[in-house]
Amino acid sequence: MKALLFERSLPRYAAARVVSSLGSGRGVSVAPLRLTDLDQPALPGPGWTRVRPRLAGICGSDLATLDGRSSRYFEPIVSMPFVPGHEVVGEVEDGNGGGRVVIEPVLGCVARGVDPPCPACAVGDTGGCERVAFGHLKAGLQTGYCADTGGGWSDGLVAHATQLHPVPDGLSDESAVMVEPAACAVHAALAAGVTEGSNVVVLGAGTLGLCTIAALRQLTLPGTLLAGAKHPAQRQLATQLGADLVVDPGEVPRAVRRLTRSLTAGAQLTGGADVVLDCVGSASSIEAALSVVRPRGRVILVGMPGTVRLDLTALWHREISLTGAYAYGREAAGGERPRTFELAFDLVEHAGLERLVSARYPLERFHDAVEHAGAAGRRGATKVVFDLREQPRWRRTETAR
C-alpha cells in the first residue's frame, strides 16, 4: 500500500524546526516524512478490522510534528515509524462491504487488550486512558501515532471495533471527515462549564476554533459569544457558525472591556469574560486568554501547546482556572452520558461543517498539502485533506508479527 511514513531522524527533525520558522507547514520539505510502499499492517487480534481511508485531514498536531515543534512529552507515548493521520473517514474492508466509518482514534484499554481497563476507560472516558503505552500494541496515544495500526495518510490501516462509528448514508465524506475535530470541540465546549448568560471568548478561528464556536452555539447558552479571528474568511465563517461579535485578535481586549464594562489598570483589565477558550495554544494566545478572563474565571486550553514561557502572576492573583481539553469519550449532557462522537455527528450535520473542507490533495502531493494546511488561514482555507478515493487498491499481503 502507499503511505506517508514518519521516521525517527533527529537531524531532519531539527532541520524542520529551523525551516518552519519561515512559516507553519514549511518544515515538511526537510522533515523525516516520505511517501513509500508498505505492507499493510497486521490485524492485532480479535475485534480488529481493516479500514481503507477515503479522506484524511491534516491537523494542527500533525503540523507541529512535521515542523519539528511537537513537545518531547509525547516521546514515550508514540512509537516510530508511524503513518500519520487521525482525522479519517474510510471504508471497512471485511469482505462484505462493511460500509463507511469514522475512526475515533484514541487507542484505549479495550483496543489494547488491557483487562481490567483503567478507571477512565472503565467509564468510557477514553481520552484519559492511562495505558496508551501498554497492552498488546506498541505505544501510541492515537491511531496516526502508533507503529502497529497505520494511519489515515495511507491506503489502509487497522482499527478496533470500539473505534468505529458508522457514517449515515446521507452524510458526505467531507462532512464525515469533520467529525473528529468536531468531537474535540464538543468536548471542549462542554468542559468549559458555560452557564446561561455567560460572556464567552474563543481565541483562534482555524478548524478547531470554528468548530468550537459551532459547538458552543449548539450545546450551551452563552450571553455573548466573542471570537478573535485573524483573516477575513475566518471572520465570515465565525459569524456564520454562531459568534455574536468577531474582531481581529489585537482588538479582543478592547472588545471584552466594552462588553463587560471592565475598568483597566495599565494594560490589565480589572474584569473580563467568564470563560475563554484558547484554540491556538501558543504562549501569546495563553497570555491573551489570561489577560481577558475575569477574576475566578476559566481558561480552557483547546489548542495543543508545546513548551511555552508564561508569566502566571495573573492566574495566581485572580484565581483563574486553567484547564486542558483533550480528545473525547463520554460527556455529561442532559443528564445522560452520550459518546462525544454521537454529539459530533449531530454538530457537523446541524452546523454544516463540511463547508470547512477547503482543499483536497492526493498523497503524491503531500508537500503542497502540508504547506497549504500551514498557511490555510492566510490563503482563505480551513481544513485541508488527503483524498484517497482514487488510490489503487492495496496489495493483499500482511506484515509478519
The pLDDT tens digits of the residues spanning 142-175 come to 999 999 999 999 999 999 999 999 999 999 999 9
Check pLDDT > 80 for residue 391. Answer: no
**pLDDT for the residue 95:** 59
**What is the CA 263 to chain-centroid distance, rounded?**
36
User: Do 365 and 242 share a structural domain?
Assistant: no
Check pLDDT > 50 for residue 390. Answer: yes
User: Do 320 and 380 share a structural domain?
Assistant: no
Instruction: Write out the three cell numbers for 146.
Output: 502508533
User: Do 88 and 202 share a structural domain?
Assistant: no
What is the 8-class DSSP label of residue 330? B
**Residue 57 belongs to what H/E stretch?**
strand 48-57
Q: How much is the mean pLDDT over the chain?
A: 94
Choose the final residue of a domain: 324, 340, 367: 324
User: Do 205 and 142 share a structural domain?
Assistant: no
**pLDDT for the residue 128:** 96
User: Do 303 and 168 share a structural domain?
Assistant: no
Choose the final residue of a domain: 309, 324, 339: 324
User: Is 297 among the domain residues?
Assistant: yes
**pLDDT range class, residue 112, cuts 50, 70, 90:** very high
- Which of 365-369's residues contact partners 24+ apart within 8 Å by CB, and which partners? 366/4, 366/28, 366/33, 366/35, 366/153, 367/28, 367/29, 369/58
Q: What is the CATH number of the domain that holds 85?
A: 3.90.180.10
**For the segment 310-337, what is each residue's pLDDT rounded down to a tens digit?**
999 999 999 999 999 999 999 987 778 9
User: Do 152 and 51 share a structural domain?
Assistant: yes
Query: Quick one: average pLDDT of 372-398?
Result: 82
Provide the number of structural domains found in the chain. 2
User: Is 396 among the domain residues?
Assistant: no
Q: Who's near 108: CB < 8 A, 6+ residues apart?
A: 117, 120, 121, 126, 129, 131, 132, 162
**pLDDT for the residue 392:** 62
Look at residue 234 and give its three-state secondary structure: helix
User: Is 333 among the domain residues?
Assistant: no
Query: Quick one: average pLDDT of 86-99?
Result: 84
Query: Quick one: average pLDDT of 277-287?
Result: 96
User: Do 290 and 380 share a structural domain?
Assistant: no
How far apart CA 401 and CA 398 sit, in angstroms, is 9
**For the segment 96-109, what is each residue's pLDDT rounded down to a tens digit?**
557 999 999 999 99
**pLDDT for the residue 334:** 72
**pLDDT for the residue 400:** 28
Choose the final residue of a domain: 270, 290, 324: 324
Query: Quick one: average pLDDT of 175-197?
Result: 97
**For the segment 201-249, what is each residue's pLDDT rounded down to a tens digit?**
999 999 999 999 999 999 999 999 999 999 999 999 999 999 999 999 9
* Full domain range(s) for residue 233: 193-324
Instruction: Extract the runs of DSSP E, i.e. beta strands, from 141-262.
Output: 157-160, 164-166, 199-203, 224-228, 245-247
Check pLDDT > 70 for residue 401. Answer: no
Check pLDDT > 50 for residue 397. Answer: no
User: Do 226 and 157 share a structural domain?
Assistant: no
User: Do 161 and 210 share a structural domain?
Assistant: no
User: Is 188 among the domain residues?
Assistant: no
User: Is 399 among the domain residues?
Assistant: no
User: Do 255 and 313 share a structural domain?
Assistant: yes
User: Do 238 and 114 share a structural domain?
Assistant: no
User: Is 269 among the domain residues?
Assistant: yes
Query: Quick one: average pLDDT of 102-117?
Result: 97
User: Is 118 among the domain residues?
Assistant: yes
**pTM of the complete model:** 0.95
How far apart CA 346 and CA 351 sit, in angstroms, is 8
Q: What is the CATH number of the domain that holds 254?
A: 3.40.50.720
**pLDDT range class, residue 267, cuts 50, 70, 90:** confident
User: Do 64 and 210 share a structural domain?
Assistant: no
How far apart CA 397 and CA 164 sit, in angstroms, is 23
Check pLDDT > 60 for residue 71. Answer: yes
**pLDDT for the residue 97:** 58
* Percent of the chain clearing pLDDT 70 (strictly above): 97
User: Is 151 among the domain residues?
Assistant: yes
